[in-house]
A and B are shown apart, each in its own frame.
Chain A
């Protein structure tokens, strides 16, 4: 097995691990927190931002 083949296998394995981690984490977060809490709100964020500047 050449070095290039090893690198190819390593690339597939690293990609698979990272995708699995992200999908697992996204599912875990979605189950742990209510949807209303996760959905960001531009208007609320902006109010906070202005308060912080003031």
Chain B
């Protein structure tokens, strides 16, 4: 080990050129639990708004087309992150391949994507608690503030205490939530409801598959994001892996395969059990599908919904704090946020700082008595992710151009370059257009916000960025420099 290292569990005194670093304790299972954990809640709720836009077949087309988009994202992230094994993920990629302004924007996209998703998860956990209490016969009102705050604080505390326990828990609860979907599928098949004779989602008129034609299927693309949104979060854990070169590609690619299976199974069981008109407006489609069975499956899917939501919020706290931390230690934000805890080896100040931000956005729909604000919060998250994917395309082209194959030891080399990058570019453009049709004002508001943030960065923050320290990895000079 180099002379500059120190065991953070045995800290030395002041004046030594030593620094605390994050713990390297994660393996492929933790990476799988992080990536799938953030996403799986989208299978339990949210994806079915694609049915409202495009009907049952529109939702299936969205699941598979957006599945291709995320396969491309996963492959490219696996290559770049397994090579740049530092916290920050796509932010670090942008920093090395393009420059500070783009890195700042990508970092901000990441923080917003995960913090907004965490806020929405906390809000939904409370809603689920209300539903379960009603099922158990409780008729009074519930103080949502108390449970929203508890959900966020409890998970933040878990993250504060260490990444190994946090992501081990995420792995277990995500695996249970996934097993619940598989269990429902097996039950549907065994009962004969999935055999095709009574496929309620497609029953009735022939036009039920695509009630609004191909335009409806196109509009459904934005909600197809729910099936997979967040799998790219595996990149944030690179610095904390025992071997990023092994864990990141293995965990991420197994994660996207799991999600493709989960998306198709979810669509299948829901379309077998529920009419598309009902499914289009359902808040908890998988739970509702299980209720048509009754018995223990109802409780299993209720539990699966709560666990999936908790896993998502937990993973989001992990990822948002890592992106904030990475920007802090590079001086893109005050370096105060770049501190790691000497005992728990977590970015403790970043975790703590984002708690009030998440609570504020989570209680907003309750405070203003406007449940519609929840969808705006989620849309902020989705759009931030979409803008980030557009930059991943540029990152990938620049990465292969500046450091061609053979010039660096890569943990993973994704196949068929540049086809996945080109495909991703087209698909992101298509989803952005589809989103503009439905949420044009929100999209323009968000772009304006990021534009103003960029002006702030250039005028007031860029002077603090250590330009000579941008290339933090011991790599050969890029081609052409």
Contacts and interface: CB of A to CB of B under 8 A. Distances in A.
Nearest to B149: A15
Nearest to A41: B19
Contacts of B338: 39-40
B459 interface: no
B198 to A, nearest CB: 40
Contacts of B150: 11-12, 14-15
18 contacts: A2-B140, A4-B133, A8-B143, A11-B150, A12-B149, A18-B153, A18-B156, A19-B153, A19-B355, A25-B348, A36-B19, A39-B339, A42-B239, A42-B326, A44-B21, A46-B86, A49-B24, A53-B245
Given A8-B143, A21-B157, A38 B85 contact: no
Nearest to B339: A38
A8 B146 contact: yes
B190 interface: no
B329 interface: yes
Given A22-B352, A29-B348, A35-B339, A40 B154 contact: no
Contact of B2 (A33, A48, A53): A48
B474 A40 contact: no
B374 interface: no
A44 B126 CA distance: 43
A19 B150 CA distance: 10
The 5 tightest CB contacts between A and B, nearest first, are: A38-B339, A11-B146, A11-B150, A42-B472, A43-B472
Contacts of A22: 156-157, 160, 348, 351-352
Given A40-B20, A40-B329, A15 B153 contact: yes
B330 A40 contact: no
A33 B342 contact: yes
Interface of A: 2, 4, 8-9, 11-12, 14-15, 18-19, 21-23, 25-26, 29-30, 33-53
A14 to B, nearest CB: 6
Q: What interface size band does chain B fall in?
A: 35 or more
A11 to B, nearest CB: 4
Contacts of A38: 19-20, 339-340, 342
B11 A46 contact: no
Interface in B33-75: none
Given A19-B153, A26-B348, A39-B19, A48 B1 contact: yes
Given A22-B352, A37-B342, A4 B474 contact: no
B1 A51 contact: yes
Given A14-B150, A37-B20, A47 B474 contact: yes
Contacts of A51: 1-2
Contacts of A43: 469, 472-474
A43 B138 CA distance: 56
A37 B154 contact: no
B477 interface: no
Given A15-B150, A39-B329, A45 B133 contact: no
Contacts of A40: 19-22, 325, 329, 338-340, 347
Contacts of B398: none
B479 interface: no
